[in-house]
Structure 1
Amino acid sequence: MDLRQLRTFREIAEAGSLSRAADRLRIAQPALSRQVRLLEAEAGLPLFTRHGRGMELTEAGRELLARVAGPMRQLEGAIAEVRALSGVVAGQVALGMMPTVAAVLAGPLSRRVAERHPDVSLRVVEGYTGHLIEWVQRGATDATLLYGAATDFHLPVRDLFVEGLVLAGPAGSGLAPERPVTLAAAAERPLVLPSRPHGLRAIVETAASRARLTLNLRHEADSFLVLKDLVVCGLGFAILPRSAIRREEQEGRMEIAPVIRPAIRRHVVLALPPDRAPGRATEAVLALLAEEVAARARDGDWRAIGSD
């Protein structure tokens, strides 16, 4: 087994097709097929199921990919760090985010990285809190954003920002920023919430439980885009960070009202892998992330931790 075989295996798994992987790697398909056969022979099990639509990982293939993705990223990062001794910050950085944060941060942060460090490739990975923790622990991501106070995690953690949540409803629902609603009143509305693995669902349910309230849950949506569509279509109300629905609010497709008694806030932190320090490319991206958070705080969207 060598790194070339593992890189071929990873590319085919991500592309889902030998031809697409060949195009990405600019290597002839027969050469890729040979690398896969050698790896399967060494593993002693088939790693892919071949079918007319492409190639799909077997159970053994999924297990191998989960185990090698982190170490491969670390090896590739080590090479990038050596190249960076020339003075140029370069390499690939994978940053995990929750969907409602990615909706606000992914685009502006990617632009900052492209402008300031053109040799750095940023990959934003969306996921639930449980997945984000797992990915950063095994090295599949270089850093990740998470919900919760820094003391909640057994990981190196940096505080980022706090943001209040609002009740969001469709146009014509009568909500207004100058007329807050109590959590008790919000709980009585037909609610659209993410499913339980989602950190935002946990924040809302924890607040309701502490206030001894029962939520009137009507719909669940794992996709943030679907959740917003359900609200816009008038199928229910959602409790969301205002920054993530600014566009819908400005376009008049959603109305919002702050939630009070009690106010609900999300606390966002940055978590790093437990077993290695961030490389130069990662630190460069994290510095730009801090700049973007500070800019959002100045605009009033968030309260950066440590600010007045």
Structure 2
Amino acid sequence: MDLRQLRTFREIAEAGSLSRAADRLRIAQPALSRQIRLLEAEAGLALFTRHGRGMDLTEAGRELLARVAGPMRQLERAVVEVRALAGTVAGQVALGMMPTVAAVLAGPLARRVAARHPEVSLRVVEGYTGHLVEWLQRGATDATLLYGPATDFHLPVEPLFAEPLVLVGPPGSGLRAEVPVTLADAARHPLVLPSRPHGLRAIVEAAAGRARLALSLRHEADSFLVLKDLVECGLGFAILPRSAIRREEAEGRLLVAPIHRPVVRRQVVLARPPDRSPGRATRAVLDLLLEEVRARAHDGAWQVSTEGR
């Protein structure tokens, strides 16, 4: 088994067909077929099922891809980092984010990276906390944002910021940004929340549990866009970070009210892999991330953590 076979395997898995992978790699299809046959012979199992529309991974193929994708990416990145030692910062950096954070940070961070380090390619990977931790440990991402507190993880973790959550309702709901509601009042509204693997759901349920409140759950939506649409259509209320819905609030499509007694906050932390140091490109992106977080704190919505800095 060699790196060329694994690279071919990964490309075919991502492309879904031998012909598309051949076009991407600019290698003749027979040569790719031979590499896959050799890899399957060494594995002792079929890695793909072939059909008229292309090729799909078998269970063994999916397991192999999950195990080799991260290490392969780290090897490829290492070569890029070594080549760049004498020149500009270059390479691909994969950064994990929760959807409500990505909605605020992804675009501005990508613009900062493009302006300061044009040879760096930023890939933002959205997911739940459990997925984000797994991808970081496997090497699929170089760093990730997670919901804190930092003590919840056995990873190198740095606190970033905290932000209060607000009750979000449709136009005509009567919510006002200058009139707080209690958590008990918020819990009585028909709520639209993410499902339980989502970090925001855990934060809201933990706050309600401490206050001995039952939530009136109406709908669940794991997609942040769908969740906002359900609220805007009048199908329920949400509990969200205000920074993630600034545009909809400004346009009058969503109304907000602060939550107090008690205030419900989310903490966001930055986690790094436990077994490898960040390369130059990753360090450069994380420096720009901290700049963007500080810039976003100027409006008073975020409380930037200085712990560990």
TM-score where L is the length of structure 2 = 0.96
Structure 1 residue ranges without an equivalent (≥5): none
What does residue 199 of structure 1 align with? Answer: 199
**Distance in 2, Cα, partners of 1:94 & 1:148:** 20
Letter in 2 for 1:14: E
TM-superposed deviation, 1:91: 1.0
Q: Deviations over 1:267-286 (max 9, x none)?
A: 00000001011111100110
Q: Provide the C-alpha distance between the structure 2 equivalents of 1:52 and 1:237, rounded to a whole number of angstroms.
A: 47
Alignment partner of 1:279 is 2:279 = yes
1:209 aligns with: 209
2:255 corresponds in structure 1 to 255
Structure 2 residue 72 is matched with structure 1 residue 72: yes
Please, what TM-score do these two structures have when normalized by structure 1?
A: 0.96
- Show the counterpart of 1:268: 268
Q: 4+ residue stretches of structure 1 with deviation over 4 A?
A: none
User: Residue 297 of structure 2 aligns with which residue?
Assistant: 297
Q: Partner letter of residue 128 of structure 1?
A: Y
Q: 2: CA distance between counterparts of 1:35 and 1:123? A: 29
Matches within 5 A, 1:1-308: 1-306=1-306
Structure 2 residues without counterparts, runs of 5 or longer: none
Query: Separation in 1 of the partners of 2:180 and 2:26?
Result: 57
Matched letter for residue 43 of structure 1: A
Deviates more, 1:20-29 or 1:219-228: 20-29
**Sequence identity (%):** 83
Give me the whole-angstrom Cα distance separating, in 2, the residues matched to 1:217 and 1:172.
Answer: 20
* Distance apart, 1:51 and its partner CA: 2.5
Q: CA deviation at 1:100?
A: 0.7
Task: Tell me the distance in 2 between the aligned counterparts of 1:104 and 1:34.
Answer: 46
What letter matches 1:105 in structure 2? L
CA deviation digits over 1:1-29, x for unaligned, max 9?
A: 11111112112222223333233323333
Question: Once the 2 structures are TM-superposed, how far is the Cα of residue 159 of structure 1 from its aligned partner?
Answer: 1.1
1:23-46 deviation per Cα after TM superposition (whole angstroms, max 9, x unaligned): 332333333222222211211111
SS at match of 1:277: coil
Task: Write the deviation string for residues 233-265 of structure 1: whole angstroms up to 9, x where unpaired.
Answer: 110000001111111111111101111111111
Deviation by residue 1:129-180 (Cα, 9 ceiling, x = unmatched) = 0011111112111100000111111100111111111111111111110011
Shifted more, 203-212 versus 149-158: the winner is 149-158
Partner-residue secondary structure (3-state), 1:214: coil
Give the total of aligned pairs.
307
Name the CA distance, whole Å, in 1 between partners of 2:164 and 2:17. Answer: 44
Q: 1:160 to 1:42 in 2, by over 3 A?
A: same
Structure 1 residue 208 displacement after superposition: 0.2
User: How many angstroms apart in 1 are the aligned matches of 2:130 and 2:22?
Assistant: 33
CA distance in 1, matches of 2:101, 2:256: 18
Query: What's the Cα RMSD here?
Result: 1.3
